[in-house]
Amino acid sequence: MIDKLRMMAISQTVAELGSFRAAAKKLNLSPSVISHHVTQLATQLGLPLLYRSSRRISLTQSGHDLLAASQRMTHAAQEGLMAINRRMTEPVGKLSVTLATATAHHPWADLHLKFARAYPKVQLSMNFTDQRVGLEGSKFDMAISVFSRHLNMSIPDRH
């Protein structure tokens, strides 16, 4: 399947540029490699995709149909890659966190608000519980637990 997708992308470039040479230059391949892929695809499909003359190429009806499908394919691939790139620069999605109830009134709560302001496209969901939650098989992405017998939240007076 990957080979066919590659042949479709190469054939699309030929059709859009109207020349094997121009496609070869754009894709950094030799014209003979371009011709081989277009011919292989037509052979595998059992239909001619191009009409070739000494001066130009034109698409058969099957070639037009394949070009439209190939353009949808490459557009979808480009959209997917751009979405991934956007995630690298601007996090998006859902983040589900479970926290110990003892942290609900801790200054960490301010950090959650700062996070939500800094990353507005991340849907932050927080669950406070006194039960220990294992992440594997749970609906949470992260767990913050407090392991202390004596949790003292007071700040010492410094006189």
The CATH number of 2-88 is which of 1.10.10.10, 3.30.200.20, 1.10.3720.10, 1.10.1670.40? Answer: 1.10.10.10
Asked if residue 15 lies in contact with residue 63, where contact means CB atoms within 8 angstroms, the answer is: yes
Answer yes or no: is pLDDT of 89 > 90: no
Model confidence band, residue 97 (pLDDT cutoffs 50, 70, 90): confident
Answer yes or no: is pLDDT of 56 > 90: no
Q: What is the DSSP string of 72-125?
A: HHHHHHHHHHHHHHHHHHS--EEEEEEEEGGGTTSTHHHHHHHHHHH-TTEEEE
Which residue is listed with tokens 């190939």? Answer: 70
Task: Return the CATH class of domain 93-144.
Answer: alpha beta
Say what the pTM is.
0.55
Answer yes or no: is pLDDT of 15 > 80: yes
- Output 97 or 62, whichever has higher pLDDT: 62
pLDDT for 155 equals: 40
What percentage of the chain carries pLDDT values higher than 90?
42
